[in-house]
Structure 1
């Protein structure tokens, strides 16, 4: 990277070695499509912001040089696992993955010789202080059933699948290929007929789902007041009427009509590389809000469970498995920001994005006028953002006056806290 002559043999050799590493390692360890075969270009012009082919990057590095500070190739597969798995393949060592999934499901807290033997001495000593489930409890029974299904072969003489790994494989196919529950049941019944005698296969979708639910793949359904006042959740789970407006809880899926919309809330893991963090397989569907017209400003009511979990992960954290290090670590989670359209921005922030003061950046200093003939609002005075000596500031041809003001003052965190400090007694709901 220090070469003045970028066409020298040593520099060209280094470029080719880098491209060999980048194209081979990143193609194996990421989800970049085989059809593009493009990787980030680390030249001084692109600075890893553009994906290009090997030939294009080669030309870039010769003409523009490489970013000198780019010494750890994090955008090109360094410190990433080398194994690539196809989307419908549990991969080699899937048995180890399944035992690890069971282990994670129970927070490494169930005392069981079969699992403890698989852990190295360092992990056992680290995890010895974690709580253990008492034998005979519901959690212990679930754990024992999962371990039994993980060890049990699909049928006598089968070395490829255990009962549990076979069901997980089928559910992976179901999810990836959008298979209906009815089709999944039909497939299970076909397997029961086709496999050798003694094959242990669930009879229908619901029996199979029970197995993966025990593994932690489940969701919690929470009833809500029809006026968005409250959730029937935690200490209010057994209430029959809303404690604020006295209406009943509702279930939009209970009737025959389907005139409702769905508002999804996703969590995106931002400490993954850029080419992975926005992939669907790495996004977490945290919440689904079914409503006829959307929760609007009362979305805060529905966000309570997610906010509570995020606060717990920030304050307490959770033991998490690091596949690259083959060990567990104590993970803490922070919410960095939200991504949403402009109307949803108003719902989340509490600042109206309509009429005179619609700009959440300018806030009270926003400049706008109402067009008398159209009845809509127009946001003017953008010249205040120009440099103070810009010629357009001194022109009266736009609105009949010159512009001497500077841009609106940026609101600080202290200013925002001052604005919202009196909102503690605010009541939610449409009534």
Structure 2
């Protein structure tokens, strides 16, 4: 029969009380509890505090608290022993874990049933080692998951009850979505955010933590994505203008380089001559994209070469050493130079509203909504149909044709229409003269 007895091993004041756990002659282990008592107030025969009647109020209260706690500890140890599984090794380490669990609200696995505890564990013990298709997830994906976890924790603090991992279902996800909307987060971003908890929480199954059986019914969503680009003719209108302000001239040069290299601003604004590589007498830009870690090889277009030559073999200067600040400044200058070039055609896009503190989607003059991302999208759109799609994707870094077509606002039906238009145009061209002389094949 399993028993718990409490003992002292010190004669000093505030001696720690040890729990001794026994089961017949098989198990006999002891570990220190967090309770303390003066040995003069302890009965070693009963393993309990003495029934002292005369002492100051503080001492009497302390003795009474120790008595109550020891009863609870004994009950907790015996309960955990009864609930043990076949794989548990009952030894001093086990007893130490049980005592720690008593003071911290439950054994570790039981604590991880609560969503806030599980998320903390996920960040420290799971996320740094997560893989996708055999490869460690990227830093960008890690940051996204941490951002979403922080949002979930903010949401949990707003609730009137503590949620368990198993509570996260469609209903809770809908509440989380409304919480995000209340924070002024863009609808498209919310659509991505609500699918991440499913990925994070589903991992709890590997720890034998209960997960809601309906969690897979939670679906993310996308919103209509603006496909803003500038045409080659519009770029030429910008090229005609000589800007007296050096930073505007610099922004114009970066726009031209971006138009013919098709890279995100985070890669565009970090280009250096060290990336040049000569292959069979032709110059290419060899870089690894920051977001995807993909290596891309970009041929040096004549318009880009003109800028490099004009700047004595160098790329234009960046606007700031901080890439995010550089992008912000670049965006501001792009809107200025596009306005001066009268790029006014209406496009579907988003503008930030200072009053509502959120982006408002609608039709705006292009110069009001142009940003650095116009470089990559313009490259993809400008070269679509003219250049085989896989070749464009090799530069932009898209993985699938479906992803690429969605990026430029096309679908497979559009592709078929483009081919038809190409054929019609070709049919309108005069056929080359052919010889009427008949040849005989031997």
TM class, shorter-chain normalised?
A: under 0.3
Instruction: Find the structure with the greater CA-based Rg.
Output: 2
* Higher RCO (CA < 8 A, seq sep 6+): 2
Whichever structure has more helix as a proportion of its residues is 2
Q: TM-score, normalised on structure 2?
A: 0.25
